[in-house]
Amino acid sequence: MKRLLIGHSAPLRGAVAVNGAKNAVLPILAAALLTDEPCEIDGVPHVTDVATMRAILDELGVRTDDIKGAIRTRPGAGGTTASYELVRMMRASVCVLGPLLAKRGTAKVSMPGGCVIGPRPIDLHLKGLRALGASIEIEHGYIVAHATRLRGAHVLLGGAFGSSVLATANVMMAAALAEGETVIEQAACEPEVSDLADCLSAMGARIAGRGTPVLTIEGVRRLRGVRYRIIPDRIEAGTLMMAAAITGGDVLVDGARAEHLGALIEQLREAGVEIEPRPGAVRVRAPRRLRATEVTALPYPGFPTDLQAQIMALMTVAEGVSVVTEKVYPERFMHVPELLRMGAQITREGSRAVVKGVPRLSGAPVVASDLRASAGLILAGLAADNSTELRGIEHLSRGYQALGAQLVALGADIREIDDPDGGRTGGEDALTLESFQEMRGDGVR
Ligand code: EPU
């Protein structure tokens, strides 16, 4: 396993292209289970979560091949079990549940395990599928589900923390092949959910209300194969925009869709950054020092929780006092102690962090707890004196195809170095709160 060595960065300059959206492609690949025909998905990012989803599809009898930047899926008779070994690597694996149930009438999917960004129950997934008539039991760590043919129903998918992206995806995919009409209320409105709806529609599904909290799905008997290009990754785009902002740079982020990034654009403008939306791109021009701002992570179209760690990094060096509130995952603050090690001034009270901007951070060895925390710490490293050594970068490759290389192309000083300890490998649940504290040297509390 490698580490990243991040040097203090001059203002980033130039143009950079955004890859396809990780969180769109995962459910879209799962949708290949809904058809007997091959599918071709374009713009798939080379990230380890995609490799995990391909391994799960393989387990379920769907072969996947790389063909010139796309993935072709070839359905075959296969199992109905998604094993613990794979599901523990990636919680998003749970989105094979709806398709398996709808197409094969039975599904056995490992219960996803613990997660470093806080509790992530799956009650809404189960509630939605039960409403469509599935019988579901939890047996020996597996969700065991059966249905002869699912039937359309009225389903409310709102939970204590708002809507759920993957529960909406699961129920939408199942409803596409159910008998009759399904209405999902409090559906997630994230662009990745709309992308799935568009892909399913191209496969012959009948879905109305995409992008709104009410989805109406008229079930059909069969879905056909599809050739589909997924949307650019708004979280990668947002991360690159903030890399430009924290270095006082001038960068054209090609593939950033301003219409998917409204909340971030508003926050960056408040912080003093000039944002110029262009067709299919966004140009970011930042001042020498940013201004403090107030940010609340919320379901879409609110500020994305997946950009919370990154904007907090920006606020650590902004002028004034910022408040960052997390309403999607109230415990997603594992980056805070690492930012403190770099000289940031942050006090955390429950789901809120108060960040007093300092003129400069100070490079230090830090550990990434998860995918987005890694990105936040890289941005912090760009604004820190000397060099920052980031461990735990296996998380980064779960969702960013080449963030380091993209930043280097814009002028950043980032190098991969060997990890003398051999590092750690493993899946999402491999890094628990305890193991993270242990790795950081805090001991287990
Ligand atoms: N929730 C429930 N019950 C459920 C499902 C979710 O209470 O059955 C709660 C969660 O605990 C959380 C909130 O609802 O408080 C939202 O969770 P959601 O279900 O929307 O999350 P997800 O679908 O499991 C996706 C992304 C995450 C992203 C969240 C929120 C994928 C593959 N993952 O997860 O992405 O943070 O939506 O936008 O789409 C990432 O890419 O780093 C990442 C974690």
Is the C-beta atom of 327 inside 6 A of ligand 1?
A: no
| 370 band by pLDDT with thresholds 50, 70 and 90 | very high
β-bridge mates for residue 325, sequence order: 296, 352
344, 355 contact by CB (below 8 A): yes
Q: Is residue 428 very low, low, confident or very high in pLDDT (cuts 50, 70, 90)?
A: very low
pLDDT per residue as tens digits for the range 204-225: 999 999 999 999 999 999 999 9
Q: Is residue 11 part of a domain?
A: yes
Residue 167 Cβ < 6 Å to ligand 1:
yes
In a domain, 312, yes or no: yes
Return the residue matching tokens 């080379």: 46
- For ligand 1, say whether the CB of 306 is within 6 Å of any of its atoms: yes
Q: Quick check: 84 pLDDT over 60?
A: yes
C-beta atoms surrounding 330 within 10 Å: 17
Closest CA to ligand 1's atom 36: 306
Q: Please check whether residue 48 lies inside any domain of the structure.
A: yes
User: Does the pLDDT at position 418 exceed 80?
Assistant: yes
Q: Are residues 128 and 237 in the same domain?
A: no
Select from 181, 214, 229 the last residue of a domain.
229
Whether pLDDT at 14 is above 60: yes
Q: Is the CB of 92 within 6 Å of ligand 1? A: yes
Pairing of strands 227-229, 39-42: parallel
Q: What is the CATH number of the domain that holds 370?
A: 3.65.10.10
Asked whether residue 445 is assigned to any structural domain, the reply reads no
Provide the pLDDT for residue 185. 98
Given a cut of 70, whether residue 442 has pLDDT beyond it is: no
How far is the centre of ligand 1, averaged over its atoms, from the C-alpha of 363 (Å)? 32
Query: What's the pLDDT at 114?
Result: 66
Shared-domain flag, residues 200 and 243: no
Least confident of 1-15, 106-120, 360-374: 106-120
The CA 168 to ligand 1 mean position distance, Å, reads 10
| 115 noted as active-site residue | yes
Residue type, 250: D
Residues 218 and 239 in one domain: no
Shortest-distance Cα residue to atom 18 of ligand 1: 164
> To test ligand 1's pocket by mutation, which of 172, 328, 395 has the most ligand atoms within 8 angstroms of CB?
328
Higher-pLDDT residue of 288, 425? 288
Ligand 1 atom 33 nearest Cα: 23
Pocket test for ligand 1, best of 91, 93, 136, 166 (most atoms within 8 A of CB): 166
411 and 306 share one domain: yes
Specify whether 316 is located in the same domain as 174: no
Q: What is the pLDDT of residue 203?
A: 98
Residue nearest to atom 29 of ligand 1 (CA): 165
Picking from 184, 200, 229, the residue at the C-terminal end of a domain is 229
Amino acid 444: pLDDT:
29
Do 145 and 237 lie in a common domain? no
Residue 436 has pLDDT above 70, yes or no: no
Q: Does ligand 1 lie within 6 Å of residue 23's CB atom?
A: yes
The active-site residue, picked from 39, 115, 189, 199, is 115
Specify the higher pLDDT residue, 438 or 307.
307
The two three-digit tokens of residue 391, written as one number: 């461990």
pLDDT band for position 78 (50/70/90)? confident
What is the C-alpha separation between 415 and 435, in angstroms, rounded? Answer: 26
Q: At 346, is the secondary structure helix, strand, or coil?
A: strand
Q: How far is the CA of 122 from the centre of ligand 1 (A)?
A: 9
Evaluate if residue 321 carries a pLDDT over 90. Answer: yes
d(CA 419, CA 4): 9
Residues of the chain with pLDDT > 90, as a percent, come to: 89
203 lines ligand 1 (CB under 6 A): no
Domain boundary among 229, 264, 292: 229
Residue 274: the pLDDT is 98
332 and 307: one domain?
Answer: yes
Q: Please give the distance, rounded to the nearest whole angstrom, from the Cα atom of residue 166 to the centre of ligand 1.
A: 7
pLDDT(119) > 90: no
Residue 375, C-beta contacts closer than 8 angstroms, at least 6 positions apart: 239, 309, 310, 396, 400, 403
Q: What total of structural domains would you count in the chain?
A: 2
Strands (E) located in 381-425: 384-385, 387-391, 414-418
As a whole number of angstroms, the distance between CA 365 and CA 4 comes to 10
258 lines ligand 1 (CB under 6 A): no
Q: How far apart are CA 261 and CA 248, in angstroms?
A: 20
Task: Please choose from 97, 165, 233 the residue to mutate so as to test ligand 1's pocket, defined by most ligand atoms within 8 A of CB.
Answer: 165
The reported pTM is: 0.95
Q: Is the CB of 161 under 6 A from ligand 1?
A: yes
pLDDT at 293 over 90: yes
Q: Is the pLDDT of residue 439 over 50?
A: no
pLDDT at 434: 47
Instruction: Please give the average per-residue pLDDT across 235-249, as a whole number.
Output: 98
292 within some domain: yes
| Ligand 1 midpoint to CA 28 (Å) | 16
* Average confidence (pLDDT) over 149-163: 95
Output the pLDDT for position 421: 65
8 lies in some domain: yes
Q: What is the pLDDT of residue 390?
A: 97
Tokens 């992008």 locate to 211
DSSP characters for 283-331? EEE--SSPBP-EEEE-STTSB-GGGHHHHHHHHHTSBSEEEEEESSSTT
For residues 346 and 431, state if they share a domain.
yes
Question: At residue 433, does pLDDT exceed 60?
Answer: no
* Mean pLDDT to the nearest integer, 268-289: 97
**Residues 216, 70: one domain?**
yes
How far does the centroid of ligand 1 lie from the alpha carbon of residue 276, in Å? Answer: 30
Same domain, 243 and 261: yes
Q: Based on the domain organization, do 209 and 307 belong to the same domain? A: no
Residue 431, domain member (yes or no): yes
For residues 257 and 373, membership in a common domain is answered with: yes
| CA 384 to ligand 1 center in whole angstroms | 31
Any residues with CB less than 8 A from the CB of 371 and at least 6 apart, and which?
A: 395, 396, 398, 399, 400
Q: Which domain holds residue 216?
A: 22-229
* Mutation to probe ligand 1, out of 124, 164, 171, 401 (largest number of atoms < 8 A from CB): 164
Q: Mean of the pLDDT values across residues 70-98?
A: 94
